[in-house]
Amino acid sequence: MSQATLPLPTEAAPAAKRGASTFSRVMRYTLVRSVALFATVVVGVYLTILIANMGGEVDKIRKAFIRDNVALSFMGDRQFQQLPREERERIIAEIITVEEHRLGLDRPFLLRSFGFLGQALSLNLGRADLLTSDSGSSQVRLILLERLPPTLLLFATANFLNFFLSIFMALGLSRRYGSFLDRAVIALAPTSAAPGWFYGLFLIIIFAAVLGLLPFGGLVAAPPPKEPLAYALSVLKHLTLPVLALVLSTIFLTIYSWRTFFLIYSSEDYVEMAKAKGLPSGTIERRYILRPTLPTIITTFALSLIALWQGAVVLETVFNWPGLGRLLFQAIGLYDTAIIVGSTVIYAYLLALTVFVLDFVYALVDPRVKVGGEGAKV
Amino acid sequence: MKALRRALGEFGRYPSAIAGVVIIGLLILVSIYTLLALPLPEAIAKWRGGEEYWAEYPKTAAPVWVNWFRARKLPPTLVESTADGSATKTSEALTEEMTDIQMVFDVNYTYDAFPQELSLFITTNYTSKPPLLSVTWLTPDGREIRVGEFTPRHSDVYRFSIDDKLIRRLGGIPPEQGLFIREDPSGLVLVKGNYQLLVSAVTFEPGSDVDAKFVVYGQVHGWAGTDHRRRDLSIALLWGTPVALAFGLLAAMGTTLTTMILAATGVWFGRWIDAIIQRITEIQLILPLLPILIMVGTFYSRSLWLMLGVVVVLGIFGSAVKTYRALFLQVKESPYIEAARAYGASSWRIIFQYMIPRVVPILVPQLVVLVPSYVFLEATLAVLGLGDPVLPTWGKIIDDARVNGALHQGQFYWVFEPAALLMLSGLSFAMVGFALDRIFNPRLRGL
């Protein structure tokens, strides 16, 4: 969903109970919070496992797949063909049983789903069924790690660019509110309704197909250049279009939201007061506008960082970018549940961790929020 | 009522909002036209059909309007048939059994580019002895090129482009070009003018007859162009409109309304109901929507309506619950709620008649702004190959175009048309939503 909503800051907590020492209060709060978040992660991951396994349906497909493979492996075997019929069936059934036992398919699904949950939560992500990493390993962890850097590179670049550009442009616009540029940004804000891949198509048409300036997709040129500098340049060239597509698809709406947000804050009485005192506008912006909006800014930034994990599945597919998003799509196409669950687990953990850290960061930057106070439930 | 009229008056102050309403109106008109002119079963049958519908259509032909921007005009498809009288046919009995049939196809070729293909569709009736056909091509400058002789089956297609003998006779040049050129001192040039295809047939049975249809496949076709399977894109472009509107509106309404009711219920009853709703919302936060939709699409069914259901179910507990909850917490403390409770209104009455109407001004812009994201979600799923298997939609055109290398081969119309429609519908809803947001949200008024 490209519709950016500005999250509300957590409700301000009333003063803490008298008597309780700060340390024990913080400890209790931390404990309660982490237990609650962990429970959330467990439920979320289990739901993913259930959906990914179609309530056991995937197993049927996998069993049929094993049966086919075993039958196929004996196709060209003369000696085997000459055995009597019962003998042949017995051998095949035996191999299938061994194979199913090896993959753990002989236990009921419900039981295995809990085993799976335990493994997933302890980040023991298991082995992929079909997909492998470039080095040939089928360890889910290795596959995910291999696909992580391209995704991080792409989305971190786009997000940082988007974040800083929008904050500074928004500050500038809120100062020159009503100017031509300001009205242009307002008019352009609805263009963010389209997702990144949509702009990607147009960028590919313009810069790759018509002008021939930039490549259609991929991470580096083939074959990859040997020298590090040339390699980096090649990656940069391939990175330009997807990053541009991502930035284009969000920047105007983000600028618009921040600008409006800053405008609302700059009409507060204390800002008027500061202006009346004759403080320089830089100081007013830093101390009187940015400071109170810091919690919201941090939340938005943290949440956008998490979104890296999700990647834009389609954007990576359109640009042939070898990241997590495309991996997820490949995995789903091949019914590779281990990888699907793996990436969701990591996503869930990251989100929970960020929410956890955010609670504390809020307390640091927002004096109204006191950690562990009554009613500090998010 | 007065408030509504004031809101409408204010709405008129935003030109972008008016433009948005006009576009939405046009899209609705297109939808109505589509539903009336091209019933769904017919559209699906055509879209999934093959030769029986599309044999006379060129492959990946650009729309006609590309000629407006080109100095060298591309040819449209020219069809001449003896069955409907657009070509002349004369027959003359030679003996009791043999008949000589002469068919003349006049082609007035005035375009600056070669046709895409040439085909002769032949239908004959005979019991045991098929007729013999000989085909000759006359150019405007008076040359006569022998195309070939053959005996067709009952219903046959002679494709010029894959006739090796003809290609050899033309010096290795593909017939759709070789038949239209002349050797000049400056090289080979395209000759414009009146061409003639002469088909003379001899039948060997009494009552045996031959009819033929000559198709000069063009490089442009219709207002929408065609795709790699010769299908006219206008079908999918037209049908994409009601599908996109329905999906976007239903998904937006489904998620916004249910979320609102849920948030109001949670706030009003409080305690464990509220707590449960809060916890489910937190779990929903870590359930990734798109991957789950992809999973549902691959494992269960790709039906658009199932996808819609999943979107709504996952959206019910979306993060918007938190926003609405904050609003309702304020509303709950209002004196008029107190008053309602005092006269003995039931809980549901208070929720539906007192609390929810209060936040409608915030709900409406949110709902409208959400529509484009769902319109694009449908396209996103289609681009991932998870589009509805039967419905022709905009997203599926983009997917077809991408998979068949339209971007690499310069068939930009193929991507551009559905993309423009997507953008248009997305923008219109977004513009209206933004304006509504600024009208209904007093803090944004004047900003």
Tokens of B77: 């498809």
Confidence of residue A18 (pLDDT cuts 50, 70, 90): very low
List chain B domain ranges.
Answer: 2-47+231-440, 73-217
**What mean pLDDT is predicted for residues A361-366?**
67
**Do A47 and A177 share a structural domain?**
no
| Cβ atoms of B54 and B61 closer than 8 Å | no
Residue-wise pLDDT tens digits, A100-127: 887 777 777 777 788 778 877 877 777 7
Which residue of chain B has the CA closest to A215?
B408
- Asked if B292 and A51 come within 8 Å (Cβ–Cβ), the reply is yes
| Cβ atoms of A193 and B426 closer than 8 Å | yes
Instruction: Return phi, psi of residue A65, to 5°.
Output: -65, -45
Confidence of residue B24 (pLDDT cuts 50, 70, 90): very high
Residue A371: the pLDDT is: 54
| CA–CA gap between residue A250 and residue B150 (Å, rounded) | 63
| CA–CA gap between residue A347 and residue A311 (Å, rounded) | 11
**What mean pLDDT is predicted for residues B276-302?**
78
Q: Select from B285, B292, B295, B371 the residue whose CB has the most chain A CBs within 10 Å, as the one to mutate to test that interface.
A: B295
Q: Is A340 domain-assigned?
A: no
- Asked if B287 and A47 come within 8 Å (Cβ–Cβ), the reply is yes
| CA–CA gap between residue B438 and residue B447 (Å, rounded) | 8
Nearest to B298 among A198, A208, A333 (CB): A333
Confidence of residue B35 (pLDDT cuts 50, 70, 90): very high
Cβ under 8 Å to A: B residues 268-307: 278-279, 282-283, 285-292, 294-296, 298-300
Mean pLDDT of chain B: 85
Residue A136: the pLDDT is: 75
Residue A44 or B445, more confident: A44
Looking at the predicted structure, is the pLDDT value of residue B25 above 90? yes
R_g of chain B computed on alpha carbons: 32
Task: Centre a 10 Å sphere on the Cβ of residue A305 and count the other Cβ atoms it contains.
Answer: 17
- Asked if A263 and B447 come within 8 Å (Cβ–Cβ), the reply is yes
**Do A153 and A116 share a structural domain?**
no
CATH architecture assigned to B73-217: Sandwich (2.60)
Q: What are the beta bridge partners of residue B197? A: B105, B137
Distances (CA, A) of A108 to A55, A95, A101, A118, B295: 11, 19, 12, 16, 22
- Return the percentage of chain B with pLDDT > 70, whole number: 98
Residue in A238, A36, A156 with CA at minimum distance from that of residue B285 = A36
Name the amino acid, one letter, at A142.
L
CB crowding B426-445: b at 16 or more within 10 Å, else e: bbbbbbbbbbbbbbbeeeee
Side-chain half-sphere exposure of A376, counting CA atoms within 13 A: 25
Residues in chain B within 8 Å Cβ distance of A342: none
Name the amino acid, one letter, at A245.
A
Residues in chain A within 8 Å Cβ distance of B380: 195, 197, 314
Instruction: Return phi, psi of residue B266, to 5°.
Output: -60, -45
| Cβ atoms of A185 and A256 closer than 8 Å | yes
| Cβ atoms of B217 and B113 closer than 8 Å | no
| Cβ atoms of B105 and B87 closer than 8 Å | yes
Please tell me the pTM assigned to this model: 0.80
**Helix/strand/coil for A150:** helix
Task: Centre a 10 Å sphere on the Cβ of residue B347 and count the other Cβ atoms it contains.
Answer: 11
Residue A10: the pLDDT is: 41
**What mean pLDDT is predicted for residues B306-327?**
81
| Residue showing tokens 């019991």 | B127
Residues in chain A within 8 Å Cβ distance of B384: 313-314, 317, 329
| A47-61, A254-268, B103-117 — most confident range | B103-117
CATH superfamily of B2-47+231-440: MetI-like (1.10.3720.10)
Confidence of residue A230 (pLDDT cuts 50, 70, 90): confident
| CA–CA gap between residue A75 and residue A69 (Å, rounded) | 10
Q: What is the DSSP string of A59-75?
A: HHHHHHHHHHHHHHHTT
- Residue A200: which CATH number? 1.10.3720
Q: Select from B16, B24, B276, B286 the residue whose CB has the most chain A CBs within 10 Å, as the one to mutate to test that interface.
A: B286
Q: Select from B256, B272, B299, B300 the residue whose CB has the most chain A CBs within 10 Å, as the one to mutate to test that interface.
A: B299
**Do A113 and A223 share a structural domain?**
no
Residue A6: the pLDDT is: 40
Confidence of residue A366 (pLDDT cuts 50, 70, 90): low
Residue A12: the pLDDT is: 40
Looking at the predicted structure, is the pLDDT value of residue B230 above 60? yes
Residue B442: the pLDDT is: 64
| CA–CA gap between residue A34 and residue A32 (Å, rounded) | 6
Domain count, chain A: 2
Residue in B344, B204, B189, B324 with CA at minimum distance from that of residue B267 = B324
Residue-wise pLDDT tens digits, B65-102: 888 988 888 999 989 898 888 888 888 888 888 889 99
Nearest to A204 among B282, B370, B407 (CB): B407
Nearest to A314 among B370, B384, B427 (CB): B384
| A260-269, B178-187, B215-224, B351-360 — most confident range | B215-224
Task: Centre a 10 Å sphere on the Cβ of residue A187 and count the other Cβ atoms it contains.
Answer: 15
Handedness of CA B389, B391, B395, B396 (dihedral sign): positive
**Do A222 and A95 share a structural domain?**
no
Name the amino acid, one letter, at A69.
N
Q: Is A356 domain-assigned?
A: no
**Do A275 and A205 share a structural domain?**
yes
Q: Check whether the bond before B392 is cis (ω within 30° of 0).
A: no
Confidence of residue B29 (pLDDT cuts 50, 70, 90): very high
Distance from CA of A98 to the nearest CA of B (A): 27
**Do A179 and A58 share a structural domain?**
no
Cβ contacts of residue B426 below 8 Å, gap of 6+?
Answer: A190, A193, A194, B372, B375, B376
CB crowding A5-16: b at 16 or more within 10 Å, else e: ebbebbeebeeb
Give, for A145, the enclosing helix (H) or strand (E): helix A140-175
* End residue of a domain, out of A86, A121, A156: A121
Residue A362: the pLDDT is: 67
Residue-wise pLDDT tens digits, A36-63: 888 888 888 888 778 777 767 677 777 7
- For the CA atoms of A99, A102, A104, A107, the dihedral, rounded to the nearest 10 degrees, stands at 70
Confidence of residue A183 (pLDDT cuts 50, 70, 90): confident
What residue numbers bound the domain in which A47 lies? Answer: 31-121
Residues in chain A within 8 Å Cβ distance of B373: 1-3, 193
Q: What is the ipTM of this complex?
A: 0.78
Residue A378: the pLDDT is: 38
Residue-wise pLDDT tens digits, A155-171: 888 888 888 888 888 88
Residue B444: the pLDDT is: 62
Confidence of residue A291 (pLDDT cuts 50, 70, 90): confident
Residue in B428, B291, B252, B373 with CA at minimum distance from that of residue A3 = B373
**Do A165 and A58 share a structural domain?**
no
Q: Is A341 domain-assigned?
A: no
Q: Is A231 domain-assigned?
A: yes
Residue B136: the pLDDT is: 92
**Do A197 and A331 share a structural domain?**
yes
**Helix/strand/coil for A359:** helix
Confidence of residue B446 (pLDDT cuts 50, 70, 90): low
Number of CB pairs < 8 Å for A and B?
137
| CA–CA gap between residue B59 and residue A245 (Å, rounded) | 31
**Helix/strand/coil for A139:** strand
Nearest to A57 among B299, B376, B431 (CB): B299
Q: Is A19 domain-assigned?
A: no
**Do A251 and A161 share a structural domain?**
yes
**What mean pLDDT is predicted for residues B198-209?**
88
**Do A296 and A188 share a structural domain?**
yes
Q: Is A101 domain-assigned?
A: yes
| CA–CA gap between residue A49 and residue A59 (Å, rounded) | 13
* The 3-state secondary structure of chain B, one letter per residue: CHHHHHHHHHHCCCHHHHHHHHHHHHHHHHHHHHHHHCCHHHHHHHHHCCHHHHCCCCCCCECHHHHHHCCCCCCECEEEECCCCCCEEEEEECCCCCEEEEEEEEEEECCCCCCCEEEEEEEEECCCCCCEEEEEEECCCCCEEEEEEECCCCEEEEEHHHCHHHHHHCCCCCHHHHCCEEEECCEEEECCEEEEEEEEEEECCCCCEEEEEEEEECCECCCCCECCCCCEHHHHHHHHHHHHHHHHHHHHHHHHHHHHHHHHHHHHHCHHHHHHHHHHHHHHHCCCHHHHHHHHHHHCCCCHHHHHHHHHHHHHCCCHHHHHHHHHHHHHCCHHHHHHHHCCCCHHHHHHHHHHHHHHHHHHHHHHHHHHHHHHHHHHHHHCCCCCCCCCCHHHHHHHHHHCCHHHHCCHHHHHHHHHHHHHHHHHHHHHHHHHHHHHCHHHCCC
- Cα Dmax for chain B: 107
| CA–CA gap between residue B215 and residue B76 (Å, rounded) | 11
Q: Select from A206, A314, A358 the residue whose CB has the most chain B CBs within 10 Å, as the one to mutate to test that interface.
A: A314
**Do A176 and A98 share a structural domain?**
no
**Do A110 and A151 share a structural domain?**
no
